[in-house]
Amino acid sequence: MMKKLWASYYDAEFGQIRNESNHWTLEQYAVLGDHCVPICVDFEQGQIGELSSLQREAIRQALALPSDVLSITAPLVLQNYNVYREMIGDEEMPQLANPIQVWDEVTFSYIYVPPHVEYDLHIPTFKLIAECDWEKEHGLEVRFRSGVADDADQIGETGRV
């Protein structure tokens, strides 16, 4: 028996959610500065349409990010930039005088809302996934818990408490 492949799903709260390139992507976008960033979700336990209350809250928080989110988050991302700069000793990586300049080195990809059964069982969590000039191979992942950025690292490396 063949498994049915869904192309889209309608959610009463968030509208159309489409399956694009193996990601379930909301029709609505998060706004980061002057960038509109897609929001992608993995449904709980792989069940189409099964968003947990924590995932729903994480999506609401991503959609309601404050207009100054990039300024607020810049020091955390700059810390990752500086650690990487020192670690590889790259003299060509400029010393950034103002933390907000770190965003000039970043290209936003999407916001990812994971199944909360995998981790962070009690805290609404999402991750900003991006490409960054200082680590082209692994990119950048900024974790938001309860709507606040608390970790920035290379993709797959976050999760420290």
In the chain, the amino acid numbered 8 is: S
Three-class secondary structure of residue 142 per DSSP: strand
What span, in angstroms and rounded, lies between the C-alpha atoms of 35 and 15?
21
116-161 residue pLDDT tens: 765 667 899 999 999 998 888 889 999 999 999 999 998 765 443 3
Which structure tokens are listed for 87? Answer: 């670690």
The answer to whether the beta carbons of residues 107 and 120 sit under 8 Å apart is: no
Strand 35-41 relative to strand 106-113: parallel, antiparallel, unpaired? parallel
Whether 45 has a pLDDT exceeding 80, the answer reads no
What span, in angstroms and rounded, lies between the C-alpha atoms of 149 and 140?
13
Average pLDDT over residues 49-72: 94
Predicted confidence band of residue 46 (pLDDT cuts 50, 70, 90): low
The pLDDT of residue 79 is: 92
Report the Cα 139 to chain-centroid distance in Å.
12
Average pLDDT over residues 20-38: 91
| Boundaries of every domain in the chain | 69-110+126-153
Predicted confidence band of residue 48 (pLDDT cuts 50, 70, 90): confident
In the chain, the amino acid numbered 143 is: R
